[in-house]
A and B are shown apart, each in its own frame.
Chain A
Amino acid sequence: MFTRQPIAPLEYTRRWSLRAWVALTMFFLYAPLVALMVFSFNDSRRNIVWQGFTTKYYLKVLHNDTLMTALLNSLTIALFATIISLVLGAMAAVMLWRFRFPWKSAIEGTMALPIVVPEICFGVAMLIFFAQIGWPMDLPWPFSLGAITIAHVTFCFPFVTMVVRSRLASFNREQEEAAKDLGASEWQAFRDVLLPHMKPGLVAGALLAFTLSLDDFVITFFTSGPNTITFPVKVYSMVRFSVTPEVNAVSTLLILMTVILTTIALYLQNRMTENSGKGHS
């Protein structure tokens, strides 16, 4: 604003009006989240006026057994859903990228459907499906999470496919052919040539799948039995009727977890793309 240099026509970002617009948008996006995090440390039940710093709501959350069980359930589901989605998604990506086969466009279109079908429709479809096949509801723990995990894999793996496939587009097929000419088997060529190239896509896809699974409420809401409570479902029942400092504390923990995960993934991805860049030159 106070710069001496005149603003060039295309330097829109240096115009104060646009800067103010961006600043307001960012305020709109972040102020509620920041307020929520700050007030999780507020020593007041009514949670309006700042009364002093406390961490007692965090201790309360950590001693809340149902909440902790729900969190453990969610993390377990997310872990398994990510692993299965990663394998299925990568296979589908290689299949679509490498082969021409009958019904290809139909299969490709169907694979994109879980991304666009409204969550509520897929959720109720899963509810009917599991009711129809008589999926047992009283299995012992990790298996009791099976239905939710299956539902999560179904809507996560097409995202992995999408990400990995866009990464595969930049692969130079001659590298694979060279490996095979030098005596590598199909599997060796895949493991030592194609897989390293796919790695950044796999990391991005895994992070996407993990976040999507951890984030999901609607589909879980319809597939969870009476005895399996996941973290979002538990938070939903807490949020539904009241605004309490405990919910603020829980939310802050989850926000921190996502920020840390995203940072790690972005860091890994940057390092890997830099490395692979060096490898090519």
Chain B
Amino acid sequence: MQDWGTQKRVFAAIATAPILWLFTFFVIPLAVLWAYSFGRNVGLTEIDISGTFANYARAIEPLYIAIFGKSVAVAALTTFICLIVGFPVAIAITFAAPKWKPWLLLGIMLPFWTNLLIRTYALMTVLRGEGYANQSLGWLWNLSSNARVVLGLQPLGAWEPLHLLYNNFAVVLGLVYVHLPFMVLPLYAALDRLDRSLIEASLDLGAGHLRTLLTIVAPLAAPGIISGVVITFIPALGAYLTPDLLGGTDSQMIANVIERQFKRANDWPFGSALSFILMYATFIMIAWQASRERKLKREEA
């Protein structure tokens, strides 16, 4: 590391472009968005930035509080399911034979490289009324119905396709489907660094696998668990596409409400205020992660 003053020209040559770009196309747009959140609509396209807090006041009306609460609940549930599903997978990858490890990792990562829209669409084809899930269930239903006839019992009624799409269930399933790799990869990174002799010692001293997992592995892998939780929760909270395509009228999340302010409702100041509330929520999560990490490091030291 050298001081920038020792090679001012080299520093200027490499620093100007990225800093200027970041400032012009990131900091300024966000600053404008922030300014808009204190404005109000006057006329169809004109917005007067008057420093009013009315948009924020409107955002804490019960209707929007409910949507925020729902978004947080859906994101939290998604994160929890990802953790439950992902933890054993991360353990399996960690302790897999070296020959299998890269393939398992690739298996988890490949969907991550696939287009989000396509993955969501794939879920739609599975969940819709005449989708594969309903077909498989209908086939099982008919099979058991026939089996009952063979056994001399009344056959079951006709198969009624389940409504799996356009509801909250589909939204959570879709979010888990999309965000599972986000959870597995940091968990794996943390578990892979773990000192295995500690697990062996715990098992040798008579603790069961579950107890070892809860009292030895989980605390040691805590940084990985926390970063997995944060990395999954943040995009799930701000998810737009999944609730839009898989959700019904009652599965609107905060991002869908923001989108509506900018497209159909045409209330940019209110949409800006909602966007900033979502951003503050994101920053609080990141700050929480950073403080937990610092605390864990202090405890280690």
Contact = CB atoms under 8 A, between A and B. Distances in A.
A100 B4 CA distance: 6
B258 A124 contact: yes
B115 interface: yes
A12 B95 contact: yes
A26 B107 contact: yes
Contact of B18 (A10, A13, A125, A157): A157
Nearest to A12: B95
A32 B180 CA distance: 15
A232 B84 CA distance: 31
A30 B114 CA distance: 11
A121 B238 contact: yes
Given A118-B235, A118-B237, A91 B14 contact: yes
A132 B32 contact: yes
Contacts, number: 231
Given A10-B200, A13-B96, A128-B29, A88 B18 contact: yes
B113 A118 contact: no
Contacts of A47: 125
B139 to A, nearest CB: 11
| SS class, residues of chain A in contact with chain B | helix
A35 B126 CA distance: 8
Give the interface residue-count category, chain A.
Answer: 35 or more
A1 to B, nearest CB: 14
Contacts of A99: 1-4, 7, 11, 15
B88 A22 contact: yes
A8 B253 CA distance: 47
B33 interface: yes
Given A22-B92, A118-B234, A129 B28 contact: yes
A10 B121 contact: no
User: Which of B1, B100, B199 has the most A CB atoms < 10 Å from its CB?
Assistant: B1
Nearest to B16: A91
A175 interface: no
Contacts of B237: 118
Interface string B21-64: 11001111110110010000000000000000000000000000
B215 to A, nearest CB: 16
B124 A128 contact: no
B278 A236 contact: no
A188 B190 CA distance: 40
B272 A25 contact: no
B117 A236 contact: yes
Interface in B105-131: 107-108, 110-111, 113-126, 128, 130
A154 interface: yes
Interface residues of B, number: 82
B124 to A, nearest CB: 6
Nearest to B15: A95
Nearest to A84: B21
A235 interface: yes
B288 to A, nearest CB: 13
B239 to A, nearest CB: 9
Interface stretch (A65-73, A198-206, A248-256, A272-280): A248-256
Contacts of A239: 117, 120-121, 124, 245
A240 B19 CA distance: 39
A98 B2 contact: yes
Interface string A117-146: 111111011111100100000000000000
A153 B21 contact: yes
A127 B85 CA distance: 38
Nearest to A127: B262
Contacts of A46: 130
A69 B91 CA distance: 45
A35 B132 contact: yes
Nearest to A236: B117
B23 to A, nearest CB: 8
A113 B282 CA distance: 11
Contacts of B116: 215, 217
Given A88-B17, A117-B279, 14 more contacts: A33-B111, A88-B21, A92-B18, A94-B14, A99-B1, A99-B4, A100-B3, A101-B15, A121-B30, A121-B278, A128-B268, A129-B33, A161-B18, A211-B113
29 contacts: A29-B108, A29-B111, A32-B125, A33-B114, A98-B2, A101-B3, A101-B11, A116-B234, A117-B30, A118-B275, A119-B240, A121-B33, A124-B272, A124-B275, A125-B32, A126-B29, A128-B36, A153-B21, A215-B115, A218-B255, A239-B117, A239-B121, A239-B245, A240-B245, A248-B125, A254-B118, A259-B110, A259-B113, A262-B110
Which 8 pairs show the lowest CB-CB distances between chains A and B?
A118-B238, A129-B29, A32-B122, A101-B4, A92-B18, A125-B29, A125-B33, A120-B255
Interface of B: 1-4, 7, 10-11, 14-15, 17-19, 21-22, 25-30, 32-33, 36, 85, 88-89, 91-92, 94-97, 100, 104, 107-108, 110-111, 113-126, 128, 130, 132, 135, 177, 180, 196, 199-200, 203, 234-235, 237-238, 240-241, 245, 255, 258-259, 262, 268, 271-272, 275-276, 278-279, 282, 286
